[in-house]
Amino acid sequence: MNTLAVEGIGVIGAVGHRLVDGDGLSSDGWLVSARRVPSPNHDARPPKTVISLLVIHAISLPPNQFGGDAIERFFTNTLPATEHPFFATIDGMHVSAHFLIRRNGECVQFVSCLQRAWHAGVSCWQGRDRCNDFSIGIELEGCDEQPFEEAQYVSLNALIEILTRAFPITAIVGHSDIAPGRKTDPGPFFMWQRIVGAGAALI
């Protein structure tokens, strides 16, 4: 297991978030510098939920292929099942993440951080189920078979710094950590030691 504990982050606000315009996130939970592609695949978090977990994923569509807009269309329910054989296997799924970091480091946001994106699925972290309730999902364009790009680590660290200023994040984990046996991402090529933002330390 490779996870990160985040130290030095206190409780901020009644439900654990501090969002200030001009401080990276807008007051409604959108990253100012990200390209916004709103996804319908989200809903409200449970009342008074404290956002305390970051979950790192990896995705490529078609599998092991990069570029194009298939990920964005998948997260917005506009991906034609007939366009590629693999797309037929995920047709009808309604999923999303808060963020996607492309191979060139571009950050795309699909769901406000204040809303519950549908990224974790059946999941558990430290005895707590339904990780979507209290987490923010960050997808990296990538796969289990290839290294990630330097630009992705740069953008990811910048994003983590912004998010840990805004929310009382206590851990950064992979999808495989909250859904072991079901998920493998971000995979063996993800370099956890490259995560340096906001006092994170390997545990």
Concerning whether 72 is annotated as a catalytic residue, the answer is no
- The C-alpha atoms of residue 64 and residue 90 are separated, in whole angstroms, by 15
Record the tokens describing residue 201, joined without a space: 């330390």
Q: What is the DSSP letter of 133?
A: G
Residue 41 identity (one-letter amino acid)? N
Local structure of 137: helix, strand or coil:
strand
Beta bridge partners of 136: 54
Catalytic residue among 72, 83, 139, 150: 139
Beta bridge partners of 5: 171, 201
Q: Looking at the chain, which runs of residues are DSSP E strands?
A: 4-6, 35-36, 42-44, 53-59, 99-101, 107-109, 115-117, 124-125, 128-129, 135-141, 171-174, 200-202
CA angle 124, 154, 42 (to 5 degrees): 40
Residues 162, 154 contacting (CB under 8 angstroms):
no
Active site residues: 139
